Amino acid sequence: MRGIVPRAELALILIMGLGFLLIVQQWSFGGYQLGLLTVIVATILNIAVGNLPRTAGLGRALRLTLVLLAIVAVVFVAGILLVPYLARLGG
């Protein structure tokens, strides 16, 4: 039986595929928006899940995922906050 991490990775890949299908459909703008949001969320989750130990149990995987998502959030926020400062350096 496969562990939780490989199953989570597979589920996220399938969810991303569904998101891409919603993006390329041409009938519903709401479907496009949902697909775009799905791809973004699944990608960010995949960053965290892809860095988990393959042998992690459910509890450890959830804790580590939360820590890794917090690190990703800090990097995003730091990047957003640094843009005005870095723009002044270049101008």
Note the pLDDT tens digit of each residue in 11-67.
Answer: 999 999 999 999 999 999 999 999 999 999 999 899 888 888 888 888 999 999 999
For the cut 80, the answer to whether the pLDDT of residue 90 exceeds it is: no
Q: Assign 2 to helix, strand or coil.
A: coil
Residues 6+ apart with CB under 8 A from 12: 42, 45, 46, 49
pTM of the model: 0.75
d(CA 66, CA 63): 5
